[in-house]
């Protein structure tokens, strides 16, 4: 337990460049998808091989100096590989998030101060703390988020 404020951070599209890896796998896939995002439910590697979004890891390291930080992510229900791959990805890129990965379709159920999320889906829009809607006009970059959350001396 700590008395720091709690920050939850979404994975896909916030820390993990899932779209970049989606485009890469689509370019090498032998299957043709009517809806390209259907590959996300099909792929056995997409969540493992996706790269970090620029500045995300550094920003999280900064936030951890001031906040109790957790990862709060939704894993596709129909892609069972995604659940274990997210766990492996977090250990590889964010070892400090040891046992701080929460996978849920109901983000509104979590108690905390801030949720950094690029969408309102899976309860993010109903989160009881403050939803920091990253990569919108209000918070266009990771830098804008850390500027907002970390006080300047």
Q: Does residue 17 have an active-site annotation?
A: no
CB of 86 to Mg ion, least distance (A): 12
Applying CB under 5 A, which of residues 8, 10, 94, 145 lies at the interface with Mg ion?
A: 10
Alpha-carbon distances of 120 from 66, 103, 106, rounded to whole Å: 25, 16, 11
User: Is residue 12 annotated as a catalytic residue, yes or no?
Assistant: yes
Angle (CA) 95-37-16 rounded to 5° is 20
Rounded Cα–Cα distance for residues 42 and 36 (Å)? 11
Structure token pair of residue 46? 């997409």
Minimum gap (Å) between residue 34 Cβ and Mg ion: 23
- Beta carbon nearer to Mg ion, 4 or 51: 51
21 sits near Mg ion (criterion: CB under 5 A): no
Q: What mask of x and - would describe binding to Mg ion in positions 100 to 129, judged by CB under 5 A?
A: ------------------x-----------
**Does the protein bind Mg ion through residue 17 (CB under 5 A)?**
no
Does position 13 bind Mg ion by CB under 5 A?
Answer: yes
∠ CA(75), CA(30), CA(80), 5° rounding? 20
- Binding characters for Mg ion, 62-101, by CB under 5 A (x = yes): ----------------------------------------
Token reading at 85: 């791959």
Classify burial at 108, counting beta carbons within 10 Å of its beta carbon; exposed 0-12, middle 13-18, buried 19 or more: middle
Q: Among all residues, which ones are annotated catalytic?
A: 10, 12
Binding site for Mg ion (CB under 5 A): 10, 12-13, 118
């Amino acid at each position: 337990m700590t008395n720091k404020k709690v920050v939850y951070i979404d994975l896909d599209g916030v820390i993990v460049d899932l779209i970049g890896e989606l485009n890469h796998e689509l370019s090498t896939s032998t299957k043709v998808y009517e809806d390209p995002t259907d590959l996300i439910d099909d792929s056995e590697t997409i969540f493992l091989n996706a790269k970090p979004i620029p500045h995300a890891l550094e920003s999280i390291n900064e936030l951890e100096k001031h906040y109790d930080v957790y990862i709060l992510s939704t894993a596709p229900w129909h892609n069972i590989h995604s659940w274990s791959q997210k766990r492996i990805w977090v250990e590889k890129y964010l070892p400090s998030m040891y046992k701080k990965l929460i996978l849920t379709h109901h983000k509104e159920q979590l108690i905390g101060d801030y949720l950094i999320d690029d969408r309102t889906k899976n309860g993010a829009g109903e989160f009881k703390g403050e939803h920091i809607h990253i990569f919108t006009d209000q918070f266009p970059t990771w830098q804008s988020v850390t500027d907002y959350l970390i006080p300047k001396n």
